[in-house]
Chain A
Amino acid sequence: MKRKLISLLCLALIALAGAFGQTKKVELKFAWWGSQVRHEATIKVIELYQKLHPNVSISYEFAGFDDYWMKMTTMAAGGQLPDIMQQDYSRITEWQSRNLLEPLDPFVQNKTINLSDVAKPILDSGTINGKLYAISAGSNSYAMMLDVDAFKKAGIPLPSQDWTWDEFEKIALQLHEKLGIYGIGGGFEVDELAWKANYLSDGQFLYSADGKSLAYKDDALLVNFLKMLQRLIKAGAAPTYQEYMSSFGGATGNVQMDAIVTGKSAIEAVWSNQVVTVATAAGPGRNFAVVHIPRHKKTGLPGNFLKPSMFLSITSQSKNKEEAAKFIDFWTNSVEANLILNAERGVPISAKVREALKQTVSPINKVVFEYMDRVAKDAAPTPPPEPARHAEIRANVYVPLIREQVFYGVLTPEEAAKQLRIQATEILKRP
């Protein structure tokens, strides 16, 4: 009897301690997509945060890009979203428009998230209808990556940062003539380059501010661009679409298998946070430079802008928004955390952190940091996040029309551009 009583007491004590402990411990959930390198680094940052904040316990999950979105979509339907969610520039409006994301302005105002070292254009990219919904996890920009050795071998000087599309075409042709390789590798017709960058460098956005219509007025820029690409392909200075799509890189979108990696092309359009990946895949002993996306006029703007590579956002289903905000603050401002992350998600958005990292990064990462410094001063204006229907337009209109039918020779650039306008307008207009 006595023993029973004691054991009962012990049990009660344990339960009490458990309950006590539980009330104190904050549980957060963080989800992201990525590959092994990113998983490793992110988990280390989480462990660091838990060490500094023993009252917080962060559980996490990760997946590849497609799997991640499939999973998050399902979880949203079941009301099981994590507190902190990695977001994508092209999808954020979709999520915000369904009230799944929490506005972060209150946390910025009460200084839970300190953004004093972050430039305004970077924040604009996560602002929808005047409210901040997401904070860039690292800055990014589209870029032309150059194989310095190939240029040397061909006896062609590296292009300047303010090169134009005309110069680009000439250089790509020359590279092909001299070296027999592609001037520019594949993937050039992607919407970022042919569509967005092309209009951006003319000071035009794709979509109107309300996201209900196309903003660019003329199709000529797109048509001319596609025609230039067709000329390059015809000359052999760029792979045919078939060649590109049947290559590993083209089919999987995997940059580390792009033509520039194997030395089959001298120029490749990549995201700045992919430069390190490409260079790593190319192996030691290779030299690369990074320049702006070309402009239409020497005095005009380049086609690239300061883009968040991805965002961190707090979901409206979160029960611990304040604590989630604290973690985002840590992510943004902690030098220690960013040393671990090593700019793999793009260049840190805090100027202070950026300066601190510059001292330690590898030579190729330094090229990227310097490029991003130039982009900060010289870039097209950052367009607002794409309208919610951009994903649909891209998948059901842009890719089939421009990426496929034009380059399979089914449609002329003129017809395709016209069709693109008609079909995109229809989708945007839909209530």
Chain B
Amino acid sequence: MKKRATTSASAGRQRLDNLAGYLFISPWLFGFLALTVIPIIASIFLSFTNYDILSPPRWVGLQNFKKMFFEDPRYWKSVRATLYYALTAVPLRLIVALSVAMLLNTSRRGVALYRALFYVPSVVGDSVAVAVMWRQIFGGDGLVNAFLRLFGLPGKRLWLADPQFAIWTLILLAAWQFGSAMLIFLAGLKQIPYELYESADIDGAGPVRKFFSITIPQLTPIIFFNLVMQTINGLIVFTPALIITNGGPLDTTNFYALYLYKRGFENFQMGYASAMAWILMLVTALLTLVIFKTSSRWVFYESEVK
């Protein structure tokens, strides 16, 4: 008797929860259905056509995928470049961002100024000026070579034109613009309840132990968020390569999204570009899924709503 009452009460509550849930997410849901779904479906359809933007699409079946996987060596080059970038730039940026966030998470004087200094590079974004700045730094007589010469090293390398190193200039750009990840880490650090540290102090824990037993676990939801977002952004990286190297030299920075863009908008092969986009999306989704699946083992939530 009692049991039935609770189940019907909980069913009623669940109905209410459903309503409330959909009410809260309704803005996003509406936008998704009205503005996003149609273009997405359209681009799935287009990946099976020879759509050239300027004339109506014609169905070609799996031809785009076949060409991509088996007949286009530049495609695989772009895959390699993108993975290389994502695997280096993402961890690098996260480590730098977290270290600086820790460094700046003090109440020392001048911290506000430092925070601004470290953040400013991220503000310049991907403007035309950044491209010129970066060329200047990595040019023959640029800052990097001048620096190397200062230490007696042969500073003559032309970094941006060197197939081995050009990609590293972009990786360094990513590391340099770590500001957004840093800010998210900072906000996360600020959210950690102070009492935890106080009671750890009472227990006589040192800074290292506090870092590993309080800071890191408490920060895992934010680390998780940054990891997922940076991975996604690393895989669809586009603008830096467009404005700084334009994919060269020898296609070593011809990132996936850039190559896709060139195919679509420069060669009018939007069908092919759509096919590329969907493969990229599948791979990204798979990777994200892996991160999500492992997250239950290492991400610690203060609150768990199942």
Q: Interface of A with B (CB < 8 Å)?
A: 69-70, 73-74, 76-77, 94-95, 98-100, 241-248, 251-252, 391-392, 395-396, 400, 404-405, 408, 410
Contacts and interface: CB of A to CB of B under 8 A. Distances in A.
Given A69-B266, A242-B249, A248-B139, 9 more contacts: A69-B265, A73-B53, A74-B53, A77-B53, A98-B55, A246-B160, A251-B135, A252-B132, A408-B249
The 5 closest A-B pairs by CB, nearest first: A98-B54, A242-B161, A246-B158, A246-B161, A245-B161
A144 to B, nearest CB: 25
Contacts of B246: 251
A99 B266 CA distance: 18
A76 B248 contact: no
B115 interface: no
A304 to B, nearest CB: 26
A201 to B, nearest CB: 29
Q: Which label, helix, strand, loop or mixed, suits the secondary structure of the A interface?
A: helix
A100 B267 contact: no
Contacts of B251: 400, 404
Contacts of A247: 139-140
B256 interface: no
Given A76-B54, A100-B54, A246-B139, A395 B262 contact: yes
B262 A246 contact: no
Contacts of A74: 53
Contacts of B266: 69, 391, 395
B53 A76 contact: yes
7 contacts: A69-B266, A94-B268, A243-B140, A243-B158, A245-B248, A251-B245, A405-B250
Given A242-B161, A245-B248, A404-B248, A73 B268 contact: yes
Contact of A77 (B54, B161, B262): B54
Interface string B225-266: 000000000000000000001101111000000000010011
B163 interface: yes
B201 interface: no
Nearest to B158: A246
A408 B139 CA distance: 18
B48 interface: no
B159 interface: yes
A35 to B, nearest CB: 12
B53 A243 contact: no
A246 B159 contact: yes
Contact of B249 (A73, A245, A392): A245
Contact of A242 (B55, B132, B162, B262): B162
Interface string B52-78: 111100000000000000000010000
Contacts of B248: 245, 404
Interface string B146-164: 0000000000001111110
Counting chain B CB atoms within 10 Å of each CB, the highest count among A69, A73, A405 belongs to: A73
A95 B53 CA distance: 11
A94 B248 CA distance: 25
Nearest to B134: A251
A243 B159 CA distance: 10
Contacts of A405: 250
Contacts of A94: 54, 268
B140 A246 contact: yes
Interface in B118-148: 131-132, 135, 138-140
Given A73-B53, A242-B158, A248 B132 contact: yes
B170 to A, nearest CB: 13
Nearest to A400: B251
A241 B250 CA distance: 12
A135 B204 CA distance: 83
Contact of A73 (B132, B138, B160, B265): B265
A408 B163 contact: yes
B140 A95 contact: no
A395 B247 CA distance: 11
Contacts of A99: 55
Contacts of A98: 52, 54-55
Nearest to B71: A426
Contacts of A391: 266-267
Contacts of B269: 392
B158 to A, nearest CB: 4
A392 B135 contact: no
Contacts of B138: 246
B144 to A, nearest CB: 12
B217 to A, nearest CB: 46
Nearest to B269: A392
A98 B266 CA distance: 15
A8 B251 CA distance: 68
Contacts of B245: 251
A245 B246 CA distance: 11
B15 to A, nearest CB: 44
Contacts of B55: 98-99
A236 to B, nearest CB: 15
A246 B135 contact: yes
Contact of A404 (B54, B139, B250, B267): B250
Contacts of A252: 131-132, 135
Interface in B76-90: none
Nearest to B73: A400
Contacts of A404: 248-251
Contacts of A243: 140, 158, 161
